[in-house]
Amino acid sequence: AQSVTQPDIHITVSEGASLELRCNYSYGATPYLFWYVQSPGQGLQLLLKYFSGDTLVQGIKGFEAEFKRSQSSFNLRKPSVHWSDAAEYFCAVGARNQGGKLIFGQGTELSVKP
């Protein structure tokens, strides 16, 4: 069965520091991979996605993620965090031939220290 694990429930980083949020997935074939962000009172906003091709994908707000098949990982990175990046981040996997059914990780809450 497909599953997604985000090992870190809560991360705190200083503003201007680099960020890496971890995501591991379990799926029998190459999945579709997504990172969504949720700010308080907001919906889930797509940051970036991986379908195929280049394993390093760029997203909005300066985020990037790298698909590593050998590690079943899709970690999210940002070189310099801004206070406005404080939010909850969700990794999700979608299977081919299952349309929009996504399996989500439990989320990582990011706090940013001034």
Interaction site with other proteins (CB under 8 A): 32, 34, 36, 41-46, 49, 51, 90, 92, 94, 96-107
Shortest reach from residue 30's CB to other proteins, in Å: 11
Shortest reach from residue 105's CB to other proteins, in Å: 7
Shortest reach from residue 80's CB to other proteins, in Å: 25
| SS3 label, residue 66 | strand
5 vs 73, which CB is nearer to other proteins? 5
Amino acid (one-letter) located at 106: Q
